[in-house]
A and B are shown apart, each in its own frame.
Chain A
Amino acid sequence: MGCDNILSDTFIKIRDLHFSRGDREIFSGVSLDIPTGKITAIMGPSGTGKTTLLRMLGGQLQPSQGTVEVEGLDIASLNRKDLYKARRRMGMLFQSGALLTDLSVFENIAFPIREHYNFRESMVRDLVLLKLELVGLRGAHALMPAELSGGMQRRVSLARAIILDPVLMMYDEPFTGLDPVTLGTIVTLIKELNQSLGITSVLVSHDIHETFSIADYVCILSEGKVMAAGAPQELMESKSEFVQQFVQGKPDGPMPFHFPAGSLSNDLLGSKLEKGQHLS
Chain B
Amino acid sequence: MTFFTNLLQMIGAFAINTVASFGRASIFLFQIILGFKDVILRSSLLIKELYSVGVLSLLIIVFSATFVGMVLSLLGYVTLVDFGAESSLGVLVALSLIRELGPVLSALLFSGRAGSALTAEIGLMKATEQLASMEMMAVDPIRRIISPRFFAGLISLPLLTLLFMGIGIYSGYMVGSVWLGVDEGSFWSQMQSKVDFRGDVVNGLIKSVVFGFVVTWIALYQGYNAYPTSEGVSRATTNSVVYSALAVLGLDFLLTALMFM
* A residues in contact (CB < 8 Å) with B: 55, 58, 60, 84-85, 87-88, 90-92, 94-96, 98-101, 111-112, 115-116, 157, 160, 164
Contacts and interface: CB of A to CB of B under 8 A. Distances in A.
Contacts of B144: 115
Contacts of A116: 138
B129 A94 contact: yes
A154 to B, nearest CB: 12
Contacts of A157: 133
B135 A94 contact: no
B202 to A, nearest CB: 37
B130 interface: yes
A92 B136 contact: yes
Interface residues of B, number: 13
Contacts of A90: 136
B184 interface: no
Secondary structure call for the A interface: mixed
Contacts of A164: 137
Contacts of A100: 130, 133-134
27 contacts: A58-B135, A58-B136, A60-B132, A60-B135, A60-B136, A84-B138, A87-B135, A87-B136, A87-B137, A88-B138, A90-B136, A92-B136, A94-B133, A96-B128, A96-B129, A98-B128, A98-B130, A99-B130, A100-B134, A101-B128, A101-B130, A111-B139, A112-B137, A112-B139, A115-B139, A115-B144, A160-B137
B168 to A, nearest CB: 34
Contact of A98 (B129, B138, B139, B140): B129
Interface in B124-181: 128-130, 132-140, 144
B133 A115 contact: no
A115 B136 CA distance: 13
B30 to A, nearest CB: 13
A167 to B, nearest CB: 13
A111 B145 CA distance: 13
A101 B134 CA distance: 13
Contacts of B134: 100
Given A98-B133, A115-B144, 18 more contacts: A55-B132, A58-B135, A60-B132, A84-B140, A91-B136, A94-B132, A95-B129, A96-B129, A98-B129, A98-B130, A111-B137, A112-B137, A112-B138, A115-B139, A116-B138, A157-B133, A160-B137, A164-B137
A249 to B, nearest CB: 28
A280 B75 CA distance: 65
Closest 10 CB pairs of A and B: A98-B133, A98-B129, A87-B138, A92-B136, A84-B138, A88-B138, A112-B137, A115-B139, A94-B129, A58-B136
Contact of B137 (A95, A96, A115): A115
Given A84-B140, A115-B144, A98 B132 contact: yes
Nearest to B133: A98
A81 to B, nearest CB: 10
A115 B137 CA distance: 9
Contacts of B128: 96, 98, 101
Contacts of A94: 129, 132-133
Contacts of B132: 55, 60, 94, 98
Nearest to A90: B136
Given A98-B128, A98-B129, A115-B144, A85 B136 contact: no
Contacts of A96: 128-129
Interface string B216-253: 00000000000000000000000000000000000000
Contacts of B137: 87, 111-112, 115, 160, 164
A84 B142 CA distance: 13
Nearest to B140: A84
